[in-house]
């Protein structure tokens, strides 16, 4: 049964289309769009400097100048295991590596690993109890020291310690032990037979830290000690570049890693990721003025994006579900500032969002079609599901048609009486704070939703937070998405591998975000349902691929029907590159910079 699951994973159909089209004339990113709900749309109303390595090679590699990448969501940490946003995974990817990554065809490609373990090559135990990896010989860290299996073991121990607050903890929890077999071979034994042998040390969540640098950072010191803070901002890595300078929330500058295993093939001397500004300005800097080579995450209203892409000076990189699903997260805890230290703690139930009638009414009132057609255009489509990839787990069971009258009826029946323009019950008024990151498209979406909810008697206050803050893992900042000091919030999230297990773990009770786990639990909504947890326990031990898909669909349906989060848009957010830059590809399950070491500029 396990063999059949592994084989199925190897032949999973590619459900997204990689579209690399020229930005000229009327051409648009070619993306697959799901059928929109049959509803009537409404009108839219101090730098950190890395230490120099010792004993660096003296031979100068080929020169390729600087690669400039724009990310309007600025990088705030370079430790991927304390990151809460894709922007930080991107920043870490230039320096750090996992054993393997997913490519644009959703296939695993070796990075630090010498090969991908399978049942056929003896790497995966037929009973699913273990996986054996081989790493490439002679690997070096950018400080010139040897990369060893001890670094891999350390990263596991770092992340599974509760006090560390590792945001990728779920990727390592299944491990019972890691046993070195020789200098380049190690065996991972699972706590129980594991149907997902690639859950650990793969992709953005699997990047490996240097034990020597982070040895004193396991546990609470990870976020508190000066030594660990410095390490988080300047990690030593194994990829093609090392850190030169980092201004958190602004710019990261990288320079060549002379100890990189294939240093002579690396084209660019330096890489710069510039943060700040907005997505439209980033797109113009590539497509209009050619001031930059590559711009990430162009979450831009279609009316603004289309003229930029029509310049003909850039290429678009787009495909299905590049960022996952844009959704509204509902806070099941009470974010009232009057609660002090108990604010948004899971033992403080929300005064009205714990009422299923209120949640249901909110979901029915939202006009996904208007948001998709008038704001996203070709870069997104309405969706009723939180889990949309791969195609085998995209549920056919959910519906999300807009029905304002039904929303009103539900609230009336539940005793929420309209007084003036706002409903109330037992002295509690339906007034919500709705937060998201600063971005024109998101603020436009907020405005649509505010108008939608006003129609049913719910008053909305809008809050926009700097992306560098909103997507930060800083436990001392009140405006992070993990702290969730609001009633509703909106952002995009999606699975990090074709197997949805780690993604779906984000709603179990043990993952609830709170002060106890330094607000790094993945269950940001504070939702806790034993029925959902029971389904997840089945998923963890189920090897049959069809049954796994059925369980994943059941879990998605429970979350959607219980209105834990409200899926809005399946995003096909494009990136753009200069025409003379080769190498960037669309990627569903990994960083857009996953293969950056192979990028080059052609004449």
Task: Give 431-467 pLDDT, tens digit per residue.
Answer: 999 999 999 999 999 999 999 999 999 999 999 999 8
Query: Which DSSP state fits 386?
Result: S
List all residues 6 or more positions away from 106 whose beta carbon is below 8 Å from its beta carbon: 12, 14, 390, 498, 588, 589
Question: How many CB atoms neighbour CB 499 within 10 A?
Answer: 24
Q: Is 33 left (phi over 0), alpha (psi -120 to 50) or beta?
A: beta
Give the domain ranges of the chain. Answer: 324-571
DSSP string, 532-545: HHHHHHHHHH---H
Please say whether the beta carbons of 198 and 226 come within 8 A: no
Average pLDDT of 44-49? 43
Give the C-alpha separation, 553 to 281, whole Å: 39
Assigned CATH for 324-571: 3.10.105.10
pLDDT at 322: 58
What is the average pLDDT across 128-140? 98
Please report the pLDDT score of residue 524 as a whole number: 96
Q: Identify the CA nearest to 444 among candidates 459, 464, 430.
A: 464
CA distance 322 to 231: 30
What is the DSSP secondary-structure string of 542-591? Answer: ---HHHHHHHHHHHHHHHHHTTSEEEEEEE---EEEETTEE-----SSS-
Q: The pTM is what? A: 0.82
Burial 158-178 (b: 16+ CB within 10 A, else e): bbbbeebbbbbbbbbbbbeeb
DSSP letter assigned to residue 236: -
Dihedral angle computed from the Cα positions of residues 78, 512, 490 and 297, in that order, rounded to the nearest 10 degrees: 30
Predicted local distance difference test score (pLDDT) of residue 32: 35
For residues 81-104, give the mean pLDDT.
94
DSSP conformation letters of 269-301: SEEEEEE-S-HHHHHHHHHTS---SEE------
Q: Where are the alpha helices (DSSP H) in 204-352?
A: 211-214, 221-224, 226-233, 279-287, 302-309
Q: Is the pLDDT of residue 23 over 90?
A: no
> Is 67 within 8 Å of 268 (Cβ atoms)?
yes
Distance of alpha carbon 571 from alpha carbon 568, whole angstroms: 9
Render pLDDT for 280-322 as a digit per residue (tens, 0 to 9).
999 999 999 999 999 999 989 989 998 999 888 899 998 755 5
Residue 271: name the closest of 471, 71, 21, 59 by CA.
71
Q: What is the structure's pLDDT at 433?
A: 98
- With cut-offs at 50, 70 and 90, classify the pLDDT of residue 493: confident
Q: Which of 283, 307, 306, 285 is nearest to 296 (CA)?
A: 283
Chain mean position to CA 17: 20
> What's the CA gap between 128 and 2, in Å, rounded?
6
Q: What is the mean pLDDT of residues 586-601?
A: 94
Burial bucket for residue 182 (CB in 10 Å: 0-12, 13-18, 19+) = exposed
Torsion 577-580-585-591 (CA) sign? negative
Cα Rg of the chain, angstroms: 24
> Which residue do the tokens 């690997």 mark?
139
In DSSP terms, 67 is beta-bridged to: 271
Strand intervals (E) in 283-408: 294-295, 311-318, 324-330, 380-382
Q: And the tokens for 345? A: 């703690």
User: Please, which pLDDT band fits residue 4 given cuts at 50, 70 and 90?
Assistant: very low
Distance between CA atoms of 406 and 412, rounded to whole angstroms?
10
Do residues 165 and 518 make contact, with C-beta atoms less than 8 angstroms apart? yes
The answer to whether 537 touches 206, Cβ cutoff 8 Å, is no
Q: At what angle do helices 440-454 and 356-365 cross, to 10 degrees?
A: 120
CA distances to 100, 210, 223, 227, 503 from 142, in Å: 19, 10, 23, 19, 32
Is the pLDDT higher at 280 or at 63?
280
Q: Does the pLDDT value for residue 47 go beyond 70? A: no
What sign results for the dihedral spanned by CA atoms 286, 291, 293, 298? negative
Query: For residues 77, 82, 88 and 92, what is the CA-based torsion angle, rounded to 10 degrees?
Result: 80
């Amino acid at each position: 049964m396990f063999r059949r699951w592994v084989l199925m994973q190897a032949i999973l159909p590619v459900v997204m289309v990689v579209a690399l089209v020229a930005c000229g004339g009327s051409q648009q990113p070619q993306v697959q769009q799901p059928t929109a709900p049959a509803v009537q749309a409404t009108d839219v109303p101090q730098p950190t400097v890395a230490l120099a390595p010792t004993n660096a090679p003296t031979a100068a590699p080929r020169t390729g100048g600087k690669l400039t990448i724009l990310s309007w969501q600025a990088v705030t940490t370079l430790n991927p295991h304390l990151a809460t946003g894709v922007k930080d995974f991107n920043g870490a990817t230039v320096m750090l590596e996992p054993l393997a990554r997913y490519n644009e065809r959703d296939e695993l490609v070796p990075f630090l690993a010498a090969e991908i373990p399978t049942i056929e090559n003896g790497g995966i135990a037929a009973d699913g109890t273990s996986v054996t990896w081989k790493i490439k010989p002679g690997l070096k860290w950018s400080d010139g020291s040897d990369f060893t299996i001890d670094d891999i073991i350390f990263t596991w121990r770092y992340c599974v310690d509760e006090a560390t607050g590792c945001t990728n903890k779920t990727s390592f929890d299944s491990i019972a032990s890691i046993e070195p077999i020789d200098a380049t071979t190690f065996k991972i034994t699972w706590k129980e037979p594991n149907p997902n042998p690639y859950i650990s040390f793969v992709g953005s969540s699997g990047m490996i830290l240097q034990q020597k640098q982070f040895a004193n950072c396991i546990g609470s010191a990870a976020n508190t000690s000066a030594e660990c803070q410095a390490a988080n901002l300047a990690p030593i890595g194994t990829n093609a570049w090392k850190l030169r300078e980092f201004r958190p929330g602004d710019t990261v500058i990288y320079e060549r890693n002379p100890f990189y295993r294939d240093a002579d093939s690396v084209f660019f001397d330096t890489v710069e990721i510039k943060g700040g500004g907005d997505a439209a300005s980033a797109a113009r800097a590539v497509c209009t003025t050619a001031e930059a080579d590559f711009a990430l995450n162009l979450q831009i209203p279609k009316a603004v994006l289309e003229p930029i892409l029509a310049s003909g000076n850039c290429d678009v990189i787009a495909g299905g579900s590049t960022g996952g699903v844009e959704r509204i997260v509902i806070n099941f805890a009470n974010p009232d500032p009057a609660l002090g230290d108990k604010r948004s703690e899971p033992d403080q139930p929300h005064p009205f969002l714990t009422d299923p009638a209120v949640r249901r009414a909110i979901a029915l009132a939202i006009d996904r079609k208007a948001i998709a057609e008038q704001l996203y255009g070709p870069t997104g489509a309405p969706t009723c599901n939180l889990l949309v990839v791969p195609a085998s787990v995209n549920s056919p069971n959910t519906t999300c048609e807009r029905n304002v009258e039904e929303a009103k009826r539900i609230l009336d029946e539940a005793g929420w009486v309209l007084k003036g323009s706002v409903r109330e019950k037992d002295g509690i008024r339906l007034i919500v704070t709705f937060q998201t990151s600063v971005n024109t498209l998101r603020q436009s979406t907020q405005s649509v939703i505010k108008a939608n909810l006003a129609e049913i008697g719910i008053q909305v206050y809008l809050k926009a937070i700097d992306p560098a803050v909103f997507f930060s893992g800083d436990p001392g900042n009140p405006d992070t998405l993990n702290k969730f000091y609001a009633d509703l919030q909106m952002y995009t999230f999606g699975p990090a591998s074709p197997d949805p297990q780690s993604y779906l773990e984000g709603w179990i009770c043990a993952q609830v975000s709170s002060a106890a786990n330094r607000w790094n639990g993945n269950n940001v909504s504070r939702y806790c349902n034993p029925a959902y947890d029971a389904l997840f326990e089945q998923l963890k031990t189920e090897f049959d691929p069809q049954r796994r898909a059925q369980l994943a669909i059941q879990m998605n349906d429970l979350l959607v029907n219980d209105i834990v989060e409200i899926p809005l848009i399946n995003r096909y957010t494009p990136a753009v590159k200069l025409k003379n830059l080769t190498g960037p590809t669309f990627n569903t399950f990994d960083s857009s910079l996953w293969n950056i070491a192979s990028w080059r500029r052609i004449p």
